[in-house]
Amino acid sequence: MSIRRFVGRSSKIAYPNSGVLTCSLRGSDLWILTVILAIGMQACAVRQPVVLPAQPDFAGCAGFFRDMDVRVDEFGVADAAAARIEGFPGLRIDRFLASFAGADLTADAYAAWLERLRGLDQTARLKEWRNLPAAAKSALRAPAAQEAGETISACGRILTQPLSNASDQRARLLSNIQPPDAYSTWQRIFGLYFLSRWAIVDGVRQLHNEMRAPFLAAHQQPAEGRLIRYEPPVSPSIQAAEVAQILAQSAANPLGIPEPSPAQLEQLFSAYAPGWVVDTVSDDDRIGTVALNADGEAQVDPQNPSVYRLASHTRFGSQVLLQLNYLIWFPARPATGLLDIYAGRFDGLIWRVTLRMDGSPLAYESIHACGCYYQIFPGQGVEVVQPLDDSEPVLAPVSILARQPGERLLVKVAAGKHFINGIATAMPATDAKPYGWLDYDALRSLPMADGGYRSMFDEEGLVAGSERPERFLLWPMGVPSPGAMRQWGTHAIAFLGKRHFDDPWLLEKLLRPLGE
C-alpha cells in the first residue's frame, strides 16, 4: 500500500472498479511520461456520473468515494492538508496521526485514532465537495449541500466500521502507514542533491547571520517607515494553573491528546495571541484578509487586518502538547531590485506557541508561509540543540522568558522582507490597530462572486501566483516550488536534510533542559 504524497500534481483519472480506464499518474512524473499521458487522455475522457447512494451501504459508499475522488482530481480541487490512504477510502493521514501507527495501541486508543483518521477525510472531503464547480455538480446530479454532508459523514463511518472489528485489516493499516513527505525525491536525484547541497551551505549561514543581527544589536534599528502595532480585539489574562487544568481535563482521552472545548480554545488563543509591530513602508507591509476577486483569484485586502488561527499538536517525551498557530498575510514581498529572486505576490508569517502541560510555553516558533526562514525561541528552562548530522542548522535568536501579568508578547516585523527583527513584551496600547480572528480552515474554501467556492491552495498545497524566481535555483534541494506560499501540512522547513514544520517530534529533536 502507498500513501498519496502531498507534493506533485496528481492526475488520477479513475480508480480500479470504477467502470472506466485507470490512468493514475503522479505530477512529478508527468514531465517523463508526457507521451504516455497524451495517448491515454483520449481513453480516459469518458466519465460516469457521481451518484450518491440512496441507501448507503459499504459497496455503494466505496464506489461513491472513489468516483468523488476522480471528480475532485479532474477539476483540481483536491485538498492537500492530509493524504488519502490508498485502499482505505474514508481515511486520511497527517504526520501527527502517523506517529501513532507504530505504537502499541489499546482497543480504545486504536478506535480513537481511527476516528481521527476518518475526521481528517471528512473535513477535507466536505471542502472538496464544496469547491467543485457548480457546473460539475449539476452534471453530477449533486444533492443539496446538507444532504451531501450527511452522506459523506455516514459513508465515512460505514467504510471505517470493518476496520474497528477486523484484526487483519487493523494490522494492514497500522503496518503500512508511513509519514507523508513534503520533499520530492526525483528533484533531489536529478538535481544531484548530495553535490549541489554544498552550494547553498554558505547561503544558509549568511541568511541566519542576517536574521540574527537585529537581536544582537545594542539598540533597535531605525524604522524604514511607520510602525503600526496590531493587537487582538480582546486581551484576557489567564494563569498557568488555569491553563494546566484545561489541558489536563481535555487530554482525558485514550490518546492523551489535549482537545479543549471551542470556548476554552478561544480563551487560550486570545491569551497567547501576539501583538504585531510592523514597519510599514507600503501596503505590502500591511496585515490583511484573504478573499477571492471577481476572477476567482486569491488576493490580500490590506485594509482589513486579520489573524488566522489553527490548533495543532506535537509529541514531547511521553506527552502530547497543544500548539496555537497564528498566521498573518501580506499582499506581497516587494522587490528590492531588478534581480530580487525572493520577491513576489503574497507573503505570510506563522507564529506558533507550544504549551507544556503545566500551562507554561515550551517554545515559540516561526516560519513564513512558504516554509522558509524557520526559527525557534525556546521558553524558560530549555535550550536548543543543534543537529549533529549534515542537516540544516537551526536559527534560535533569543529565549523568551515568562511575561508579567497583563503583558502581551510583541512580534516585531521588518518592512519588505517581513523578517522578525525583535521580540518584546508590553501592556496593551490604546492606539493599537485591532485585528480580527479567522479560522485557518476558511482558506480551504473561500466564497466566489458567482456563489461557488475555491480553496486558496491548489491540489499540491501551493498558492497560485505566489511562485518565486528562486525556484529555478533551489529546485535540486527537493522542495517543490521553493518560496511559494503553501498550505498547512506541506511546509518543508529546511533545504539541507529533511525537516517538516508539522513533524510531531520536531521539538523533541531540537530542545533539551538547560544544563543537560
Q: What is the mean pLDDT of residues 228-246?
A: 90
Pairing of strands 453-454, 446-447: antiparallel
Q: Which residues constitute the domain of residue 334? A: 186-510
Amino acid at 118: R
In degrees, rounded to 5, the angle at the alpha carbon of residue 261 between the alpha carbons of residues 256 and 265 is 95
Point out the least confidently predicted range of 105-119, 327-341, 422-436: 422-436
Return d(Cα 291, Cα 307) in angstroms, integer: 14
DSSP 8-state code for residue 475 = G
Based on the structure, what is the number of domains in the chain?
2
One-letter amino acid at 372 equals C
**pLDDT over 80 at 260, yes or no:** yes
Residue 40 has pLDDT above 60, yes or no: no
For residue 43, pLDDT beyond 80: no
Structure confidence by residue, pLDDT tens digits, 5-28: 433 333 333 333 333 333 344 444
Q: Residue 161 and residue 151: Cα distance in Å, rounded?
A: 15
Alpha helices in 391-447 (DSSP H): none
| 8 A C-beta contact, residue 461 and residue 500 | no
Q: What is the pLDDT of residues 368-417, one digit of tens each?
A: 999 999 999 999 999 999 998 889 999 999 999 888 778 899 999 999 99
Pick the closest to residue 396 from 512, 240, 485 (CA basis). Answer: 512
Can you give the pLDDT at residue 146? 59
What is the band of 51 on the pLDDT scale with cuts at 50, 70, 90? low
Q: How far is it, in rounded angstroms, from Cα 22 to Cα 333?
A: 42
pLDDT (mean) for 357-361: 96
Q: Are residues 220 and 149 in the same domain?
A: no
Domain end point (choices 125, 155, 181): 181
Q: Residue 419 in contact with residue 413, Cβ under 8 Å?
A: yes
Domain assignment present for residue 13? The answer is no
Last residue of a domain, one of 181, 201, 236: 181
Q: Is the pLDDT assigned to residue 67 strictly greater than 70?
A: yes
pLDDT tens digit string along 141-177?
Answer: 555 555 788 889 999 999 999 998 888 888 889 877 8
Q: What is the per-residue pLDDT for 30?
A: 38
Residue 57 has pLDDT above 80, yes or no: yes
Please give the distance of CA 134 from its chain centroid, rounded to a whole number: 27
Residue 34: its pLDDT value, please?
38
In a domain, 299, yes or no: yes
For residue 221, pLDDT over 80 is answered with: no
Share of the chain above pLDDT 90, in %: 71
d(CA 492, CA 394): 14
Quick one: 193 and 340 in the same domain? yes
Cβ atoms of 268 and 250 within 8 Å: the answer is no
User: Would residue 277 count as lying in a domain?
Assistant: yes
Task: Name residues whose C-beta falls within 8 Å of residue 48's C-beta, 6 or more positions apart in sequence.
Answer: 18, 19, 20, 67
Domain boundary among 131, 162, 181: 181
Q: What is the predicted pLDDT for the residue at 167?
A: 85
378, 361 Cβ separation under 8 angstroms: no
Residue 8 is predicted with a pLDDT of: 39
Q: CA–CA separation, 345 vs 326, rounded Å?
A: 20
Asked if 438 contacts 158 with a C-beta cutoff of 8 angstroms, the reply is: no
Q: Does 18 map to a domain?
A: no
Average pLDDT, rounded, for the chain? 87
Bridge partners of 228?
278
Output the pLDDT for position 53. Answer: 60
